[in-house]
Structure 1
Amino acid sequence: MEEKTKEAIIKATFELLKHKDMNSISIREIAAKADVNVATISYYFGGKVQLFSYLMELHWADLIELCNELLAKQEITKEDSYQFCLRFMKKQMNSTGIIRSEQIMYQNYEIDVDTGNRLKVQFEAFHKIVITFCHKLEDESAILAKEIALLSALCLPAYWNEVAMPLVGDVDSFMEMYVRQLIDELS
C-alpha cells in the first residue's frame, strides 16, 4: 500500500508539471490529484522542496546514465556526440515543467549533493564533447564557455517549447537539424 501511495504522489506531481512549474503547484493540489492528504506527502517526502528534488533525480536518472555512457568511451565520434546531444535535447523538450522547476530550485534553494553530482556528470560529458572537437582551445575559460554554450543551446528550446514548437512543424526533424548544426559548429 505504501509504495502505491508514493507512486500516486509522484505520478500526480509529474502530471501537474506538464503544465506548471513548482512555484505554481501547491501541496494541496498535488494531494488532491493523488487522492491523498497533505500530511501523507510530508510523511513520504518531507515537504515540497524535497518532493521536487526527488522528482528531479528520478527524472534525470536516465540522463546520468546517458552521460556516463559517453564518458566511458575512450574516444567519441561526431555521431556519438550528435546522438548524445539529440537524446539530451529530447529529454529537455519533454520536460518543460521540471526544467522550469529545476531552475527555480537553483535560484531559491541550495543545490543538494545529488543535484550537484548530476550537474557535475553533465558538465563532464559536455567537456568531453567540446575538447574532442575544439582542439585549438587551450584556455580553460574558453573551453568552459563552449561547454555552457552547448548545454544552454540544448536546454533553451524547452523553455519556449509551447510557444515556438508549433512554428517549427515537425519537432523531431527540427531537433535533428538543430543538434547537427550545433555539433558541426564545434568542429
Structure 2
Amino acid sequence: MHDIVVYLPHGYDADRATPYPTLYLSHGGGDHSTAWTMQGVAHYILENAIAAGAVQPMVIISTDFNGLPGGNNGYANELRDNVIPYVEANYNVATRAEDRALAGFSAGGCRAFTIFYDHTVLFGYHAPWSITGPVANADQIERMKAVPGGIHIGTGLQDHLFNNRGQGGTVVANTRYGSRL
C-alpha cells in the first residue's frame, strides 16, 4: 500500500458537468506523498494560478513511490493499474490522457522521464524537473512527438545535477506549436 494525497480545488463540485483535469506529482528522493503540499505548497500555487486566470481548476494527486518494487517502470505500472483508476473512480475527473499531466522533481523527475519516454500515452502533459534523463532513442522520440499537450523539462539556477554553467536551464516543447526535441 502506498499513500496518495488528493487536493480538490476550492469550490470542487462532484457533480460538475465537465470533469476536472488532473495533475499527478512525483516527489524527490527521501520525501513522500505529502512533500508537494507541505514543502512545495502546490495547492497554494494552484489556487493562486486559478485566481489569476492562468489555469482552470484541477485536481492534484501527489504520489508516493518509496519502496515500490520495479523502480521507474514499477511506478508507471502503479500509476496505470492502481492510482489513476482509483482517482477516476472516486473523483469527478476526466478519464482521457489528454486531460492528465505528470510532473516529477529530482528522483520523481527520473520517474517522470521513464513515463515520458516509455509510457508516453498515460499523460497528455509531461514535466520532468531537476534531473537529467538518458538520451532518447528513435522510438521514444517518435512517441514524444505525439504528446497532445506539452512537454516541460527544467532545472533551477542552482541545480548541480543539470546546470553546469550557473544559468539554469529549461526546454519547453509544445506539440501544437512545434517540438524542440
Which structure dedicates a bigger proportion of its chain to helix?
1
Structures share fold, TM-score greater than 0.5 = no
**TM-score of the two chains, using structure 1 as the length reference:** 0.29
Greater relative CO, 1 or 2 (CA 8 Å, sep 6+): 1
**TM-score of the two chains, using structure 2 as the length reference:** 0.30
